[in-house]
C-alpha cells in the first residue's frame, strides 16, 4: 500500500498536463501512486496520458462525470493512506508532499493539510495581485470550521487528506459544478483540525477555461452550498462553537445566500436571507443596502455588487 494516492483529474488541459505530471514525478517523497482519470477530453489529453503517463493507473470516463464524480471514481480506485487532489493544469513544488506529511505526523487531530501557493498564468509566470479577486487561500493550523463558512480557504490542488476522513465524512458531492471541494473541506472541518504549511508549494494556474470563470453555474453552486451551511446550524451549536463567532459566521452566510439568490433570480428568497442575516447581526450596513436593492431587476442589482 502506498503512503500517498495522487488523484489526477484531467479534462481538456493537454497544454498544461506535461508540466503538471512532471511536478508529481519530481516529488521528494517517493512512496506514491497516481490515479489519472480523463473525463472525456477532446484535445489529445487521452492520447498524451496513454503515451507518457507510464507510472499512473489510467482510466478514461465513458461519459463526462464532472470534477467531483471523477474525483470519487479516482478515490474508489486508490489505495494510499492519504489522498492528494491534483488538477491537471496546476503545479507542485518538489517538497510539497514531504512537508505536508510532516504536519500529519506531528498533529494527529489534523485530517487535512494544505499549503500556501501562488497564482500562475498560461506560461507558468507568477501573476501579481489577486487575478481571481482574492488572495491565495490560507488558514492557520487548528479548528477552521467557522473560518471556512466565510470563504473557501483551501485550494483543491493544495490539499492532502487522510483517507479516514472520507470514510467518516463521505465523498465529494457530484451535484456540484465547482464548489464540491469547499463542501468537502467543511465536512472534514466539522470533525478534524486543518493543517497548514506556510510555504508556496502549490501553484494554481489561471487561464481562460478555468471553471471559476463560469459564473452562472458557480452562482447555482454557491446557493446550494450556502443553503447546506444553513442546514448545519443546529450541529454547529451542538458542536460547541464560540457563540459570538458563530453568529457572525451565520450572518455572513445568510448575507451571501441573499446575494446569490438574487443573482439566481429569486428576489423573495433573497429578502428572506438578508433579513435572517440582520437578525444575527443588525450592524451589517452592506446587508441593509442590499436588502433595499432586492426590488431592482437582477441586471441592475448585479451592477451594485
**pLDDT tens-place string over residues 209-230:** 655 557 889 899 999 999 999 9
Q: How confident is the model at residue 195 (pLDDT cuts 50, 70, 90)?
A: very high
Same domain, 9 and 81: yes
Same domain, 180 and 298: no
CA distance 236 to 208: 38
Domain membership of residue 123 as a residue range = 4-213
Residues in the chain: 305
Same domain, 159 and 249: no
Same domain, 153 and 224: no
- Residue 4, Cβ neighbours under 10 Å: how many? 22
Closest CA to 132 of 16, 210, 226, 219: 210
pLDDT score for 69: 97
Same domain, 94 and 207: yes
E strands of the chain, at which residues?
A: 4-10, 32-38, 56-60, 82-87, 91-92, 110-120, 160-162, 193-205
Q: What is the pTM of this model?
A: 0.95
Same domain, 86 and 124: yes
Give the count of alpha carbons within 13 A of 23, CB side only.
22
Same domain, 164 and 289: no
Same domain, 192 and 295: no
Q: What is the DSSP string of 118-178?
A: EEE-TTSPBPPS-TTSSPPP---SB--HHHHHHS--S-GGG-EEEHHHHHHH----TT-SS
Q: How confident is the model at residue 259 (pLDDT cuts 50, 70, 90)?
A: very high
Same domain, 35 and 124: yes
We report the CATH number of the domain holding residue 229 as 1.25.40
User: Where does a domain end: 180, 213, 246?
Assistant: 213
Same domain, 102 and 158: yes
pLDDT score for 207: 85
pLDDT score for 209: 60
* Spatial contact of 229 and 276, defined as CB atoms under 8 Å apart: no
We report the CATH number of the domain holding residue 184 as 3.90.550.10
pLDDT at 289 over 90: yes
User: Where does a domain end: 213, 247, 277?
Assistant: 213
Q: How confident is the model at residue 232 (pLDDT cuts 50, 70, 90)?
A: very high
Same domain, 250 and 148: no
User: Where does a domain end: 213, 231, 266?
Assistant: 213
Same domain, 274 and 151: no
pLDDT score for 172: 98
Burial of 196 per CB tally in 10 Å (0-12, 13-18, 19+): buried
Number of domains making up the chain? 2
Amino acid at each position: 500500500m502506498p503512503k500517498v494516492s495522487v488523484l489526477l483529474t484531467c479534462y481538456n488541459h493537454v497544454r498544461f498536463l506535461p508540466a503538471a505530471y512532471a511536478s508529481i514525478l519530481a516529488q521528494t517523497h517517493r512512496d506514491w501512486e497516481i490515479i489519472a482519470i480523463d473525463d472525456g477530453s477532446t484535445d489529445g489529453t487521452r492520447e498524451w496520458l496513454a503515451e507518457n503517463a507510464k507510472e499512473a493507473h489510467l482510466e478514461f470516463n465513458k461519459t463526462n462525470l464532472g470534477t467531483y464524480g471523477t474525483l470519487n471514481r479516482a478515490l474508489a480506485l486508490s489505495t494510499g493512506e492519504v489522498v492528494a487532489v491534483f488538477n491537471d493544469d496546476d503545479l507542485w513544488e518538489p517538497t510539497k508532499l514531504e512537508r505536508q506529511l510532516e504536519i500529519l505526523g506531528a498533529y494527529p487531530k489534523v485530517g487535512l493539510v494544505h499549503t500556501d501557493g501562488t497564482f500562475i498564468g498560461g506560461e507558468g509566470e507568477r501573476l501579481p495581485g489577486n487575478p481571481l479577486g482574492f488572495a491565495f487561500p490560507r488558514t492557520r493550523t487548528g479548528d477552521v470550521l467557522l473560518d471556512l463558512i466565510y470563504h473557501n480557504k483551501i485550494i483543491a490542488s493544495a490539499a492532502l487528506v487522510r483517507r479516514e476522513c472520507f470514510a467518516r465524512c463521505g465523498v465529494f458531492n457530484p451535484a456540484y459544478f465547482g464548489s464540491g471541494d469547499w463542501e468537502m473541506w467543511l465536512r472534514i472541518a466539522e470533525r478534524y483540525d486543518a493543517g497548514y504549511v506556510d510555504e508556496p508549494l502549490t501553484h494554481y494556474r489561471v487561464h481562460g477555461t478555468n471553471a471559476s470563470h463560469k459564473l452562472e453555474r458557480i452562482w447555482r453552486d454557491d446557493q446550494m452550498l450556502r443553503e447546506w451551511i444553513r442546514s448545519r446550524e443546529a450541529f454547529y451549536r451542538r458542536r460547541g462553537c464560540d457563540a459570538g463567532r458563530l453568529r457572525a459566521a451565520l450572518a455572513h452566510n445568510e448575507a451571501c445566500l441573499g446575494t446569490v439568490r438574487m443573482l439566481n433570480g429569486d428576489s423573495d428568497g433573497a429578502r428572506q436571507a438578508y433579513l435572517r442575516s440582520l437578525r444575527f447581526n443588525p450592524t451589517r450596513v452592506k446587508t441593509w443596502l442590499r436588502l433595499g436593492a432586492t426590488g431592482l431587476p437582477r441586471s441592475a442589482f448585479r451592477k451594485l455588487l
